[in-house]
């Protein structure tokens, strides 16, 4: 049980470290945004559209593990994982991840040795792993502080709550003195108040479900948080959201973000976030859709909904470009005259300046098209 709770804490942190270092390595090797998007589309990174759901699941598991740490009686060695796990797993998982991405893109897995991202990615895994290990220790220490604070609350105020949380369904019979020397020493047998049949003893933090299945309460807490997180993020599984020059667009590819070759698909812009406002009629927006080889399969005026038929399966990129007014706020220091001790003096004060200017934007979305 201790090891399961330890892994419930470590896995979300290690996975976060792995993906942050993975994204940073691609940002370092391919600093150009559109070029990086094309490389990601060609190298099997379509699964990244599911990151919001995965991130919510990992966060729920982490929160559940910390709550289990708080409400589980302190025992030596609870939730402790060797630091070598944090430093050994991310580089190994990074190489395996790159190989699987190449396989999903139709390439040989051993081509990962020729990838320009391999060496920078391996190097960047180490500092992120060290940071993750340090953050894990801070979270566990914070959970211990909260647990200690809870245990220091007067018992009179929490008597009913603690009794309901830690007690079992069946009450223990009152302890009786032995009537003879024939009775062995040990705790009394738990007897049902209805049938008089002895019940096996269960630990205070066990949770028994109908049918005889018993689960430790902290583990049940982790499972409940994981299920709730999956239910709460089902609507955001595959929507892509990209920003450029103050304009943020969210793309949904109908049907169900799983377009099929040789069948009409609709590119739907769910939302455009920009200040002060956005208008398709005045932005002069264009839409260019190209395949993995750079061949343009659609070029025309952009709109909130555009129907495109993809000729074949593979990686594609849809680029929305145009111009729109963008309002930005900046803080500048202005010199004003103020009375200081009866005398006028020049004083620099921060002032928020709002400016609106027409800005060009280009937002590329990368996705894959399934075979018919």
72-130 pLDDT, tens digit each = 755 544 456 677 778 888 888 889 988 888 887 777 888 888 888 889 888 888 888 88
Q: What's the rounded Cα separation, in Å, for the pair 72 and 204?
A: 10
Q: What's the rounded Cα separation, in Å, for the pair 308 and 259?
A: 10
Please report the sign of the dihedral spanned by the C-alpha atoms of residue 136, residue 138, residue 139, residue 145.
Answer: positive
pLDDT in tens, 316-348: 889 999 999 988 777 777 887 777 777 778 877
Q: What's the rounded Cα separation, in Å, for the pair 123 and 36?
A: 20
Residue 251's contacts (CB-CB under 8 Å, 6 or more residues apart) are 239, 240, 241, 242, 267, 268, 269, 270, 318, 365
Q: What's the rounded Cα separation, in Å, for the pair 189 and 158?
A: 28
**What is the CATH T-level fold of the domain 240-338+348-369, as seen in this structure?**
Immunoglobulin-like (2.60.40)
Q: Are 368 and 46 in contact (CB under 8 A)?
A: yes
- Mean pLDDT in the chain? 75
- Quick one: 74 exposed, middle or buried, by C-beta within 10 A (0-12, 13-18, 19+)? exposed
Q: Are 19 and 345 in contact (CB under 8 A)?
A: no
What letter would DSSP give residue 9? H
Q: Are 67 and 221 in contact (CB under 8 A)?
A: yes
Q: Are 122 and 113 in contact (CB under 8 A)?
A: no
pLDDT in tens, 166-208: 544 455 555 555 555 555 555 555 544 455 545 444 444 443 3
Q: What's the rounded Cα separation, in Å, for the pair 339 and 278?
A: 45
Q: Is 114 helix (H, G, I), strand (E, B) or coil?
A: helix
Q: Are 34 and 364 in contact (CB under 8 A)?
A: yes
- Pull the structure tokens for residue 213: 């299945």
pLDDT score for 236? 43
Q: Is the pTM of this model over 0.75?
A: no
Q: Is 124 helix (H, G, I), strand (E, B) or coil?
A: helix
What is the residue extent of each domain of the chain? 2-151, 240-338+348-369
Report the greatest alpha carbon distance in the chain: 99
Residue by residue, DSSP assigns 35-47 as HHHHHHHHTT-GG
Q: What's the rounded Cα separation, in Å, for the pair 335 and 348?
A: 4
Residues paired with 347 in a beta bridge: 336
Q: Are 25 and 82 in contact (CB under 8 A)?
A: no
pLDDT score for 154? 60
Residue by residue, DSSP assigns 286-324 as EEEEEETTS-EEEEEE--SEEEEE-SSSEEEEEEEEEEE
pLDDT score for 326? 86
- Pull the structure tokens for residue 135: 């953050």
Q: Are 349 and 331 in contact (CB under 8 A)?
A: no
pLDDT score for 64? 82
Q: Are 354 and 328 in contact (CB under 8 A)?
A: yes
Element (H, E) at 363: strand 343-369
Q: What is the mean pLDDT of residues 127-147?
A: 84
Q: What are phi and psi of 252, to 5 degrees?
A: -130, 130
Angle at 134 between CA 129 and CA 140, to 5 degrees: 125
Residue by residue, DSSP assigns 234-266 as GGGSS-EEEEETTEEEEEEEETTT--BTTSEEE
pLDDT in tens, 215-228: 455 555 555 555 55
Give the chain's length: 372
């Amino acid at each position: 049980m201790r090891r399961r709770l330890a892994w419930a804490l470590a896995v979300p942190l290690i996975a976060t470290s792995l993906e942050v270092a993975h994204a940073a390595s691609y940002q370092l090797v391919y600093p150009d945004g559109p070029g990086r998007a094309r490389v990601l589309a060609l190298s099997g990174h379509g699964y990244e559209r599911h990151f919001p759901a995965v991130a919510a699941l990992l966060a729920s598991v982490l929160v559940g593990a910390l709550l289990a740490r708080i409400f589980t009686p302190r025992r030596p060695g609870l939730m402790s994982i060797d630091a070598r796990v944090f430093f050994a797993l991310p580089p190994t998982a990074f190489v395996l991840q790159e190989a699987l991405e190449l396989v999903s893109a139709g390439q040989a897995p051993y081509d990962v040795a020729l990838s320009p991202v391999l060496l920078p990615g391996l190097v960047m895994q180490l500092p992120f792993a060290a940071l993750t290990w340090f953050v894990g220790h801070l979270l566990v220490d914070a959970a211990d502080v909260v647990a200690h604070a809870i245990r220091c609350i007067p018992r009179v105020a929490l008597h009913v709550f603690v009794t309901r949380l830690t007690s079992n369904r069946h009450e223990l019979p009152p302890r009786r003195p032995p009537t003879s020397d024939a009775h062995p020493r040990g705790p009394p047998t738990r007897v049902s108040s209805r049938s008089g049949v002895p019940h096996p003893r269960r630990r205070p933090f066990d949770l028994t479900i109908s049918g005889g299945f018993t689960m430790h309460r902290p583990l049940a807490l982790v499972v409940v948080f994981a299920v709730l997180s999956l239910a709460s993020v089902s609507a955001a599984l595959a929507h892509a959201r990209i920003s450029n020059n103050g304009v943020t667009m969210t793309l949904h590819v109908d049907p169900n973000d799983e377009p099929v070759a040789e069948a009409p698909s609709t590119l739907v812009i769910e939302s455009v976030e920009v200040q002060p406002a956005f208008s398709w009629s005045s932005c002069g927006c264009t839409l260019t859709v190209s395949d993995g080889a750079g061949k343009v399969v659609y070029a025309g005026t952009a709109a909130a909904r555009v129907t495109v038929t993809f000729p074949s399966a593979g990686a594609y990129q849809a680029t929305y470009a145009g111009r729109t007014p963008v309002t930005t706020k900046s803080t500048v220091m202005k010199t004003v005259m103020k009375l200081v001790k009866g005398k006028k003096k020049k004083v620099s004060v921060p002032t928020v300046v709002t400016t609106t200017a027409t800005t060009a934007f280009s937002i590329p979305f990368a996705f894959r098209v399934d075979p018919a």
